[in-house]
A and B are shown apart, each in its own frame.
Chain A
Amino acid sequence: MSLSTAFNVISSAFSVNAAQTAVVSNNIANAGTPGYSREIANVVTNGFGGADVASVTRVANAALLEQVTSSTSQAATQQAISAGLSTLAQTVNDSWSASSTSGANQNGASPSAMLANLQSALTTYADSPTSSSAADAVVTAAQNVTQSLKAGDAAVNQVREQADQDMASSVSKINSLLSQFAAANNAVVIGLKTGANVSSAEDTRDSIVTQLAQQIGVSTTIDTNPKDQACGSESIYTDSGVTLFQDTARTVSFTPTSTYADGVIGNAVTVDGVPITGAASPMPIQSGALAGYAALRDTLAPQYQAQLDQIAGGLINAFAETGPSGSLTPLPGLFTTPSLFSTPGATPPSMSATTGLGAAIEVNPKVDPSQGGDPTKLRDGGINSPAYVTNPGTIANGTPDTSYTGGLQQLISQINATPKGGFDTSAGLSSSSSLANYTNASVSWLQGENQQASNNADYQNALATQATSALSNATGVNLDAEMTNMLNLENTYESTAKLLTTVTTMFSSLLQAA
């Protein structure tokens, strides 16, 4: 081996050292960057006996990354559902008033509590049928029931409107991420062709996929066939298999609906015209915030609304008047709707056609003293016409028997009975419950869904955190390890410099001798 070969080796040592130092510096600089994958300089011996940096490897872990994206998507779905349901649960959560059970009235706002208050008010009125204040109290309690149903209905619409807006913003985020992804992916494909370092572009791609997973459940594949034009290109599909990105970004589109009411169906999100949400979707997405918003808007909130409608329909039917023998055509009694009220002789809607009643139900103006009505008609009957009077005194001589309670006891028993025809099972609850039990079951349903979503969100969040930690540990930077490397490189540099000095001295000696 000649001295000039030694120079070549020294020179390669310096360049390897510089390359390694660059990698270490890059790693140290990005120690705090979330999602950064550390790089390793692969050093090989070259033909002269020196060393070369053959390549720089990016430490990646596809399996862990997939765990991160899928648990992130699941957590985002459950969080979206949980946020919406807890808004709805506010309308039935009377927990803060639980200590008030010492009184005859419950505070809170749930239809369930308000119905119980109405029953108490009716019981009190039946015990003091001559008291006009007890009659007024029944009307007030009935108004609270309708208020509670209307508030629940409005909360459902509000949650659906919010979910619709969230879907719109989620879709615009997805589109923006997909176009960012296109740029990063292009950089990788071109970089691979030109042999440039594509680590940073690959990091960007991974980070975009993770952000995308927040919004929509995704799976990815990378084209590894070197013969392909687009070798290294990553494709993104929804978790249901619809292509979101393949060489180019697909367009995700959505037309928001600004106002929701009972029965309004929101628009579906489409990818290249294929719906990915809603009942008509052949391949509905399973996870991501978008799936959560869609489930909330299209399934959960409408189902709760249907339950409120059933309660309203049940109330109108249960309190309908049927006359002294109970055989007359039922006509709306204590509860009615503006359209029923303005159409004399209109019968209460059947339990299978209750859509919109939750928002429309109101206390019959004919018994509401603030609208000129007479609340004692609750006791005596005859809200609709004199033929419906049940008070025997009024029937006999036109003067009501003031201690008559038969009609009131009939009303009380209706609260604990199943409305005629039973509840419609499409609302998801038992059809043969009593009115009181149905309102309770509705609260159970809502709180059960809420609890489940909240627990799932906690669980999936924990999974996502764990997966993120595992990924960070597998692909991240350890400063101590990098510092040790740095010291090592310093020593190598120093040794190489010494070697250079020695070889130079040897050359000088050789030249002087000559």
Chain B
Amino acid sequence: MMTTMGANFVSTHYLANSLVQPVMRAQSQLTTAMTELSTGQYADLGLQLGDQSGYELSLKEQVQQLQALTTGNSVVASTMSTAQNALTSIATSAQTTMQNLAGWTPGSIGAGSQLQLSGQTALQDLISSANATSGDVYVFGRINSSGPPMADYYSPASAAKTAVDQAFQTEFGCLPTDAAAANITAAKMQSFLIGPFATLFSGTNWTTDWSSASSTNTTAEIAQGQTVTTSTSTTPTASTATDPNPAPTAFQRLAEAYTMLAEFGGSQLSSAAQQAVVTTAQPLILQGQTSLTNTQAALGATQSQVTDANNAMSSQLTILQDQLGNFDNVNATTTAAQITRLTNQIQMAYELTSRLSQLNLAQYLPA
């Protein structure tokens, strides 16, 4: 009897305890499964993913980075749309001025003050539009956005106004408002306007008296690895090896045209000299308008780049979040089924334990 061994022999100690371990394991699995069912995610993601954890983190970081870029793009977009609006308003004002000049008749009553008023209004519009802000940023200041990029010509301390008066004085020995100015011929006026007067609106004269904007563009990373120039400005871009003499900005040309109208229109100048002012101003405004159109088109292209980048990032985000979901999320159906299975298993184990305790020969032997 004692020799009964091998597979048929089961120790009572093992029999009594054989169910303890499986029940404990099932219980711990049950708590995990219940946590996972309630959160929808693995209870211990790190333990679940192991050395895939870093990859999962890098997906999360990409998502985060895309979201940060998208948020940043809204700031960029708002700055550019402010600039676009300001440019539109400048274009409208240039259009109005052109119409005024086309309808202007030399020698008519009040012809001079008409010119002057038209020039002043347009110049004031130009300055206020150039100093448009978005948030606390002057949009035409490029990287120097803390102050108004275009100096106010009509402030008492205007360096530009002083420079214009000085140039006139040097050329003709009097001020435009002096009676002596009436003697200036159209030819002389014209050569002054395209000579000494024009230089006031270019080079360092422009950046000293008129524009404090930086020549360095602002750039923004609108998508991963995609950086665009987001600014346009009152100051031409810095000269570079490929472009040693960057084209004057619309602001320069318009300011030049408007200033000559405002300063010399209502002055003592003769009709012929006024005519010379108008004929010099007209092509400048036209050039300014062309330049404005180009600037607006370039800005619009960048704006659509931002929109495109946002759309691309949005679809990228969806894909990334799907991928993340594959890593992080448990299948609710599988987990629910697992819980049912574990619960059944534990119940059966309890049942068996109570039955096993009945399986005792002593109970069946007569006393």
Contacts and interface: CB of A to CB of B under 8 A. Distances in A.
A, B: real partners: yes
Contacts of A392: 143, 214, 216
B10 A473 contact: yes
Contacts of A105: 64
Given A448-B51, A473-B9, A476-B12, A127 B220 contact: yes
Given A95-B42, A409-B227, A481-B1, A448 B9 contact: no
Contacts of B73: 127
A476 B14 contact: yes
B348 interface: no
Given A123-B65, A442-B54, A488-B1, A403 B360 contact: no
A478 B218 CA distance: 87
Interface string A449-480: 01110100000000001000100111111111
B290 interface: no
Nearest to A455: B50
A144 to B, nearest CB: 14
A119 B231 CA distance: 24
A187 to B, nearest CB: 24
Given A116-B65, A483-B365, A403 B143 contact: yes
Interface stretch (B133-141, B178-186, B296-304): B133-141
B316 interface: no
B321 interface: yes
Chain B interface residue count: which class? 35 or more
Contacts of B76: 127
Contacts of B136: 130-131
Given A98-B328, A447-B49, A112 B57 contact: yes
Given A99-B41, A447-B46, A479 B12 contact: yes
A450 to B, nearest CB: 6
B68 A401 contact: no
Interface residues of A, number: 77
Contact of A98 (B45, B216, B365): B45
Contacts, number: 226
Contacts of B365: 483, 487
B29 to A, nearest CB: 11
B164 to A, nearest CB: 24
Contacts of B75: 127-128
Interface in B32-75: 41-42, 44-55, 57-58, 60-61, 63-65, 67-69, 71-73, 75
A405 to B, nearest CB: 6
A500 to B, nearest CB: 24
Given A98-B60, A393-B214, A472 B50 contact: no
A127 B67 CA distance: 13
A375 to B, nearest CB: 16
Contacts of A178: none
A138 interface: no
The secondary-structure label for the interface of chain A is helix
Nearest to B18: A469
Nearest to A483: B361
Of residues B12, B55, B324, which shows the largest number of chain A Cβ atoms within 10 Å of its Cβ? B12
Given A116-B65, A120-B64, A402-B145, A89 B46 contact: yes
B16 interface: yes
Interface stretch (A26-34, A327-335, A359-367): A26-34
A496 interface: no
Contact of B47 (A86, A94, A117): A86
Contact of B53 (A444, A477, A488): A444
A19 to B, nearest CB: 13
Contact of B219 (A103, A402, A409): A409
B49 A401 contact: no
B11 interface: yes
Contacts of B53: 92, 440, 443-444, 446-448
B55 A444 contact: yes
A444 B18 contact: no
B4 interface: yes
A40 interface: yes
Contacts of B55: 440, 444
A134 B10 CA distance: 72
Given A104-B67, A112-B61, A445-B51, 10 more contacts: A93-B45, A95-B44, A98-B328, A101-B60, A120-B64, A440-B58, A443-B57, A451-B48, A451-B49, A484-B361
Interface of A: 31-34, 36, 38, 40, 86, 89, 92-95, 98-99, 101, 103-106, 110, 112-113, 116-117, 119-120, 123-124, 126-128, 130-131, 392-393, 399-405, 409, 412, 436-437, 440-448, 450-452, 454, 465, 469, 472-481, 483-485, 487-488
26 contacts: A93-B44, A94-B57, A95-B42, A98-B324, A106-B61, A112-B54, A117-B64, A119-B61, A119-B64, A119-B68, A393-B214, A402-B144, A402-B145, A403-B141, A403-B142, A405-B219, A440-B61, A444-B50, A444-B52, A444-B55, A447-B49, A447-B50, A472-B13, A476-B13, A477-B12, A483-B361
